[in-house]
Amino acid sequence: QKEVEQNSGPLSVPEGAIASLNCTYSDRGSQSFFWYRQYSGKSPELIMSIYSNGDKEDGRFTAQLNKASQYVSLLIRDSQPSDSATYLCAVIGYSSASKIIFGSGTRLSIRP
Amino acid sequence: DGGITQSPKYLFRKEGQNVTLSCEQNLNHDAMYWYRQDPGQGLRLIYYSQIVNDFQKGDIAEGYSVSREKKESFPLTVTSAQKNPTAFYLCASTEGSGNNQPQHFGDGTRLSIL
């Protein structure tokens, strides 16, 4: 089992709709969770951090964390073509000595 | 403007040659990291350093070497022992020793074999 798992996609969502990206992790003691956006050929850019169970909203982005079920998700409301990118889930696990473990990413495509 | 600067943006390596990728940060971050990303793949950790003059191997350290003589600099050398070096190399840093803090990335160096 991978430490951080994401569906590779591509996930195709119509413009203006809600895009939902999911991530599961194996280390039950994990405390810190991040979402990065990576455009093709570019480096990852941090878009959300979440540390507590529940929802955290920032503009059109909402991160959701459920530690009991070991998943974290990212919702993008009013999806725009500029949201088309690969989204990486990253987790700092209790057993990983503060190293971030990255998922392989989900490719999101927003269709006009 | 604070940030992480990687150079060069593109690099070509000949057979048997060592090459060094530069990573400099002016964020006063303690921890620095090197990752390798292959096309369509996730990030794999090569080396990381949480303090000056100390560094640890990541998951794929073979064929690579690093140094951390200054807080702001963490160069990566790709040695001739790395037989498949073609990839996108990313340097990152975090505040403190990295506990619970997100990583921030430079723009990357794309390395290819001649």
The answer to whether the Cβ–Cβ distance between B102 and A34 falls below 8 Å is yes
Q: How many CB atoms lie within 10 A of CB A45?
A: 14
> Bigger pLDDT: B35 or A94?
B35
Q: Name residue, tokens 């921890």.
A: B31
Q: What residues are paired with A66 via a beta bridge?
A: A71
Give percent of chain B with pLDDT exceeding 70: 96
d(CA B44, CA B42): 7
A42 phi and psi angles, rounded to 5 deg: -115, 175
d(CA B57, CA B41): 20
| pLDDT exceeds cutoff 90 at B2 | no
B97 — pLDDT class (breaks 50, 70, 90): low
A27-63 pLDDT, tens digit each: 998 989 999 999 999 999 999 999 999 999 999 999 9
The answer to whether the Cβ–Cβ distance between B42 and A102 falls below 8 Å is yes
Closest Cβ–Cβ partner in A46, A104, A105 for B102: A46
